[in-house]
Amino acid sequence: MFALADHLLHPEGDALPRDVDAQTAATLLARGTACRAPFSGAVYGTLLNDPAALSALGDALHGAPYKAPPKAPILYLKPRNTLAGHRARIVVPDDALGVEVGASLGIVIGRTATRVSVERALDYVAGYTAVADLSVPHASVYRPSVRFRARDGFCVIGPAVIAARHVPAPDALPITVTIAGKAPFTANTASTVRNVAQLIADVTDFMTLAAGDVLTLGVPHGAPIAHAGDEVLVSIGAWAPLNVSFIGATRSTGQEGAPQ
């Protein structure tokens, strides 16, 4: 079972995450504390949970290979190498393309969930967090590409997991992505094909979610693009924003580098 009392965050340098009250979390973050991802469970991203994303595909939804809109959630895995935390510095593989900053609500599962009903789905949620679900811009939808979505540091989470009792209305949360010098990108968790409870029910109809796993509600259509040198804030409601910086690739060692 994954349970928390209040705000779970993992300050950089601490061996384990801390479960602290809101004031203590705010004080730590106000000092500029960098954090790791506050958990290490599996993270599943959700595609096409935004009506605007479905509309943008137009006739392609009825083309090969499936010839019909999806009837179940389309998921992809964000593996362990992608996990990063508050104030991470993420390498941009190709600055001409940049990195798409998909801001999403992360749903943290509190106990084993298999074939959960919509009515009981929220009972299986331990808490919520902000997720910067990053990807190299690309057109592939039905076959999410590991090369584009699973780069080092491409799933930035936090700063904290907030206990579900503090989030009475997860389906009415404003989302903002702020990149200096650009107009803020805004969305809302109200604008989804499946709300939190329905998504949990539909996913657990074909797979089990374990305690500590995270399911994202999905990236809003039209997510902004960041480039090397950009500092990005991902905000959900009144929660402390998630800070992510982007840096250029270093190829002197033959590697792109990892989140710092």
How many domains is the chain built from? Answer: 1
pLDDT at site 253? 37
Whether residue 93 contacts residue 256, with contact meaning beta carbons closer than 8 Å, is answered with: yes
Residue 156 maps to a domain = yes
pTM tops 0.85: yes
pLDDT at site 257? 44
More confident residue, 69 or 251: 69
The residue segments making up the domain with residue 176 are 7-60+71-248
Residue 259 maps to a domain = no
Q: What angle do CA 105, 3, 192 make, to 5 degrees?
A: 20
Residue 88 maps to a domain = yes
Residue 260 maps to a domain = no
Q: Which residues contact 90 (CB under 8 A, 6 or more apart)?
A: 84, 99, 134, 153, 154, 156, 244, 245, 246, 247, 259
Q: What is the CATH number for 85?
A: 3.90.850.10
Residues 23-38 have a mean pLDDT of 94
Residue 65 maps to a domain = no
Whether residue 85 contacts residue 34, with contact meaning beta carbons closer than 8 Å, is answered with: yes
Beta bridge partners of 89: 245
pLDDT at site 145? 75
- Distance from C-alpha of 152 to C-alpha of 137, rounded to nearest angstrom: 16
What would the DSSP string read from start to end of 200-234? HHHHHTTSPBPTT-EEE--PPTT--EE-TT-EEEE
Percent of the chain topping pLDDT 70: 90
Q: Quickly tell me which residue has 């702020």 as its tokens.
A: 178
Residue 87 maps to a domain = yes
Chain segment 210-260, per-residue pLDDT in tens: 999 999 999 998 999 999 999 999 999 999 999 999 999 875 434 444 565
How many CA atoms are closer than 13 Å to the CA of 54, on its beta-carbon side?
Answer: 17
pLDDT at site 3? 80
Residue 2 maps to a domain = no
Phi/psi-derived region of residue 87, left when phi > 0, alpha when psi is between -120 and 50, beta in every other case? left
